Amino acid sequence: MPLPTRPRPVPAGQATPAIDVRNLTKTYGGKPALRGLSLAIAPGSTVALIGPNGAGKSTFVEILMGLRTPDAGQVSVLGHDVVRDPRGHVARIGVQLQESNLFKLLTVREYLAFFAKLYPRHADVQALAREFSLVDFLDTRVGKLSGGQKQRVALALALINDPELVILDEPTVGLDPIVRREFWELIRRQAGRGRTVLFTTHYMDEAKELADQVLMISAGRLVAAGSPTQLIERAPAGVSTLDDAYAHYVRCEALEAA
Ligand code: ADP
């Protein structure tokens, strides 16, 4: 049975941010991972989070999910105070983890049905399988799927609870260029349904193609935020690609920190 439509956020600028983070700090054994990170994400937007390895992206995302406690700062996800209550928003968010986390011995049907049962409100497994071209693989073990098929299962899983916010961790890593493009279309479709989508990526073409907003973080701080076009325009003359803009902003942060 199809799910009743969940009320979707009103357009950006008129509503509580989907994510609102202020002065977030997190230190591991005295080493800072996040250093006063502040940012806001409008409901219904698609946002790319990019930054060098070690920039603090995973730490940030894990805090949003309620899996890590920040040392200081405020974290609001879908209007919910995650620091005060790290689990209260979990049924309203969906997360696509990396492929290695899939239970390889379960069939696709068992896998999706298992997680569907965890939520009082969940999507129909058959309908999800249709949307993600997985019908022919429902009785195949997850471990036997190709990389692209596994990623589709992981994305279907992220949507099993009809989430308002979807967090995707490097959703197309390792996929061939054609499969990547097909995957972008699936992500775009989710955004088109009013969901807020936050994804991490190292691929600038992916950020440019999918994101309304790009958040660049480096050494635990936000170093630039804006649409791909704005980020290029705000960089010095001669910068004409998002790759160049990214290199510019990360270099500026490194010089400032030195
Ligand atoms: P990214 O996802 O951008 O690569 P991370 O959030 O994984 O960044 O890491 C930020 C910093 O925190 C890095 O210096 C990393 O080594 C450190 N770090 C991350 N997780 C842990 C952990 N569990 N214990 C200790 N240090 C960690």
Expressed as residue numbers, the domain containing 248 is: 19-98+162-176+184-257
Cα 54 to middle of ligand 1, angstroms: 5
Residue 247 in any domain: the answer is yes
Tens digit of pLDDT at every position of the chain (258 positions): 345 444 444 454 567 899 999 999 999 999 999 999 999 999 999 999 999 999 999 999 999 999 999 999 999 999 999 999 999 999 999 999 776 667 889 999 999 999 999 998 899 999 999 999 999 999 999 999 998 899 899 999 999 999 999 999 999 988 889 989 999 999 999 888 899 999 999 999 999 999 999 999 999 999 999 999 999 999 999 999 999 999 999 988 778 777
d(CA 135, CA 139): 9
Smallest CA separation from ligand 1 atom 12, residue? 33
Cα 28 to middle of ligand 1, angstroms: 8
Residue 53 in any domain: the answer is yes
Residue 42 in any domain: the answer is yes
CATH of the domain at 32: 3.40.50.300
Residue 137 in any domain: the answer is no
Total structural domains within the chain: 1
Smallest CA separation from ligand 1 atom 25, residue? 28
Residue 25 in any domain: the answer is yes
Residue 155 in any domain: the answer is no
Smallest CA separation from ligand 1 atom 17, residue? 33
Cα 87 to middle of ligand 1, angstroms: 22
Residue 219 in any domain: the answer is yes
pTM, rounded to two decimals: 0.92
Ligand 1 cavity residues, CB under 6 Å: 28, 33, 51, 53-59
Residue 224 in any domain: the answer is yes
